[in-house]
Amino acid sequence: MARKTVEGSFAVAEAVKNCEPDVAACYPITPSTHVAEELASFYANGEIKAYIATEAELSSMSACIGASAAGSRTVTVTSSQGMALMHEAVYNAAGMRLPIVMIVGNRSLSAPLNIWNDWQDSVTERDSGWIQIYCENGQEATDAVPQAFKIAEAVSLPVMVCFDGFYITHAVEPIDVPSLEEVKKFLPPFRPAVKLDPKNPMSMGEYAFPAHYQLFRDDLQKDMVASEKKVKEIHDEYAKMFGRSYGSGVLEEYRSQDAESVLVSMGSVCGNAKEAVDQLRAKGEKVGLVRLRLLRPFPYAAVAKALEGKKIVGVFEKSYSLGALPPLYGEVLAAAADLKSRPVISSFVGGLGGKDVTVGNVLELYGKMKQGKKLVEWV
Amino acid sequence: MLEIRLHGRGGQGAVTAAELLAVSAAEGGKMTQSFPFFGVERTGAPVQAFCRIDDKPIRVHQNVYEPDVVMVLDASLLPVVDVCSGLKKGGIVIVNTKKKKEELGLKADKVFTVDASKVAEQYLGRRDRVNTVMLGAFAKVTGLVPMDALKKAISHRFKGDVAEKNIKAIEECYNSTC
């Protein structure tokens, strides 16, 4: 393992390379990150087996589906509009139970046109049947890559590794990138139970009549829910081997066990929130942070347990659902619904289109939450 | 934690300069972070880049609003951008300019100037390649990054002749900042 001071995108690309993918298929739409560019240069240098430069993102996902169905370890990289363009095939990948890994540099959706960070691109795909992991920094995103392949291949479901555009994709930080040899010890070769094979012809992604379609979707749902355990197990296994862990693998409780007031969030803003928590703790305020790592499957029981006994909860998210409750807020409300004494739960939406959410902003949130009233506000 | 903000124009390499600063500081054993803020992504448009240096791991991911050090790669930005915005008391501003610091009218306690464009023209053949050159000024004024670490970072980033020319330019800039 070598510590490098590198851009998050480069470290993530190197982690992808060290997982020895058979096929990478990408279209670096604007806005994109350096991950796809770096994978293309790895291919040019003979360091990864195949890189398909497709003509659009829908083709990228379609190429991934074909490659994965043929038994290849497969990866793609996207952001924003590119991800939106993939939509149809994103559902196909999950429905066909293909363990594709998608690296997502989270960026906003048009219109207005905007290239900066928020989570609207991947949160929009939350119902597609992909496991979604959200990372706080470049190190976590790098570590999430080998975990993602292992989870995907263990449960036959595709996995997204999501990390914040600019804040993490473009940030140069000291990052330990696991080497090829180390990853080999953690991640076994991909040996799918079924695959497309000319010697043993079969069809995949078949037509399903009304009598059968729903059975497939029901299976998908059950396996998605069950995959939470595997995400945790594989996280723990990685932590043991590499010495770095991220809470329980499902969520991270930061000084929240004895807290009265807790903020729930995801991604890079949680670094700022940890700073704010430390400042308020130094003044004697009982505040904490619950950082969600897994958005799908949503860890309802783990969130409920983390919020048990709290008086005040605030949910901060860089995503929303027009005409409805913000997505993360809705999930947290549901998770807390059966708690004996329910906390007051407020919703804060912000950071859309790259609007900077600073330590100062988070301090203000804790200040507002202290009033003990339910708030629904923009930051 | 020390926070640095770089102001430049698209194409001058402010982002690369911030990265080289982070890499140099890491070479010197520090924890670092750098990242860019692009406005419109085109040549000549004002660009900001940020760098943080600390003894402990850096958790925050946000723009730099209250810098300890500001570097201005292009003096033509001075009438357009408030480069001293949020500058900490006792903060340092380093400007690439031919002018004397008194002529700049900057509201900062410590202003340093260097004709980095001239050095860049002399050693790199282009007046707009001032990003690496300015790091020499940063090393001298702040003492935060040892020249050896800076040279090492340059050698990682650039190869052979290009690395050598950049190192010479940085040394020249180190000596001519006042």
Using alpha carbons, select from B173, B9, B1, B12 the residue that is nearest to residue B94: B173
CA distance A197 to A181: 30
Go through the domains of chain B in sequence order and give each one's CATH number: 2-176 (3.40.920.10)
- The confidence score (pLDDT) of residue B178 equals 83
Q: pLDDT 10s digit of each residue in chain B, 178 long?
A: 999 999 999 888 999 999 999 999 998 889 999 999 877 667 888 999 999 999 999 999 999 999 999 999 999 999 999 999 999 999 999 999 999 999 999 999 999 999 999 999 999 999 988 999 999 999 999 988 889 999 999 998 899 999 999 999 999 999 888 8
The matching CATH number, chosen from 3.40.47.10, 3.40.50.970, 3.40.50.300, 3.20.10.10, for A2-242 is 3.40.50.970
CA distance A372 to A345: 9
With contacts defined as CB-CB under 8 Å, which chain B residues touch A7?
19
Six-digit token pair at A288? 């904490």
With contacts defined as CB-CB under 8 Å, which chain B residues touch A166?
35-37
| Residue B24 touches chain A, beta carbons under 8 Å | no
With contacts defined as CB-CB under 8 Å, which chain A residues touch B22?
5, 172-173
Query: Parallel, antiparallel, or unpaired: how do β-strands A312-317 and A261-265 relate?
Result: parallel
Write the pLDDT tens digit of every residue in A54-81: 999 999 999 999 999 999 999 999 999 9
- Phi, psi dihedrals of residue A96, rounded to the nearest 5°: -85, 0
3-class secondary-structure state, position A349: strand
| Residue B53 touches chain A, beta carbons under 8 Å | no
**Domain extents in chain A:** 2-242, 251-378
A 290-349 residues inside an 8 A Cβ radius of B: none
What residue has token string 């995801």?
A266
On the question of a common fold for A2-242 and A251-378, the answer reads yes
CB-based contact A170:A4 (threshold 8 Å): no
Give the number of A-B residue pairs with CB atoms closer than 8 Å.
Answer: 58
**Interface contact A271-B22, CB threshold 8 A:** no
Q: What do you get for the CA distance between the two ends of chain A, in Å? A: 40
Mean pLDDT of A345-351: 98
- State which amino acid sits at residue A117: N
DSSP A200: S
Statement: residue A31 has pLDDT above 80: no
- The confidence score (pLDDT) of residue A28 equals 83
- Which bin fits A243, alpha (ψ -120 to 50), beta or left (φ > 0)? left
DSSP A113: P
Mean pLDDT of chain A: 97
Statement: residue A142 has pLDDT above 90: yes
With contacts defined as CB-CB under 8 Å, which chain B residues touch A11?
none
Statement: residue A354 has pLDDT above 90: yes
Write the pLDDT tens digit of every residue in A291-340: 999 999 999 999 999 999 999 999 999 999 999 999 999 999 999 999 99
Instruction: Please report the beta strands in B10-109, taking only residues with DSSP state E, as ranges in sequence order.
Output: 31-37, 46-54, 69-72, 92-96
| Residue B149 touches chain A, beta carbons under 8 Å | no
With contacts defined as CB-CB under 8 Å, which chain B residues touch A163?
none
**Alpha carbon of residue A204 to chain centroid:** 27
- Phi, psi dihedrals of residue A135, rounded to the nearest 5°: -110, 150
Give Rg (Cα) of chain A.
20
Fold of A251-378: Rossmann fold (3.40.50)
A245 Cβ contact list (under 8 Å, min separation 6): A235, A236, A238, A239
CA distance A181 to A16: 13
Six-digit token pair at A78? 């996207």
| Residue A268 touches chain B, beta carbons under 8 Å | yes
ipTM of the complex: 0.93
What residue has token string 């306690």?
B109
Residue A365 binned pLDDT confidence (cut-offs 50, 70, 90): very high
CB-based contact A147:A94 (threshold 8 Å): no
- The confidence score (pLDDT) of residue A172 equals 97
- The confidence score (pLDDT) of residue B41 equals 67
